[in-house]
Amino acid sequence: MPFTRISLLKGKSPDYLRAVSDALHTALVDTFEVPDADRFQAIHQHEKTELIFDAHYMGGPRSDDFILFHITAGKERNEQTKNNFYHRLAELLARDPGIAPENVMVIIQLTSVTDWSFSGGQSFSTMMHRC
């Protein structure tokens, strides 16, 4: 179950934010081995002085449409799976809501099963042992 923090500048419409959320979820389901019902995201909108990024570092040029996806995942995916995900996400975001691929940055951070508690004050690994 990945959890994604989505960071972008303030001022986007609810429809724009929904399109971003949907594109992310579709890309995760299509390429990242995520079940369709597994959707956990937090969208953070920042003032221009609160989201600082280099317009040209490792790509670009980036505009004020820059968007950062910080994905925390509980299991490793191979390089091909990750590359397929990056490509699919950029493709979907370009289609709707129209974000240029140069404005899309993704960070994937891995954790272990003991780092997750889905509910009830129980770690994921403890819950799995009871099943």
Among the options 2, 35, 97, 101, which is catalytic?
2
**Cis bond before residue 61 (omega within 30° of 0):** yes
Q: How far apart are CA 34 and CA 87, in angstroms?
A: 16
CB 16 within 8 A of CB 67: no
Question: Would you call 35 a catalytic residue per the annotation?
Answer: no
The distance of Cα 111 from the centroid of its chain, to the nearest Å, equals 15
Sign of CA dihedral 55, 58, 61, 66: negative
pLDDT tens digits for range 12-62: 999 999 999 999 999 999 999 999 999 999 999 999 999 999 999 999 899
pLDDT for residue 126: 58
Longest dimension (CA), the chain: 51
pLDDT over 70, % of the chain: 91
Backbone φ, ψ for residue 59 (5° rounding): 140, -155
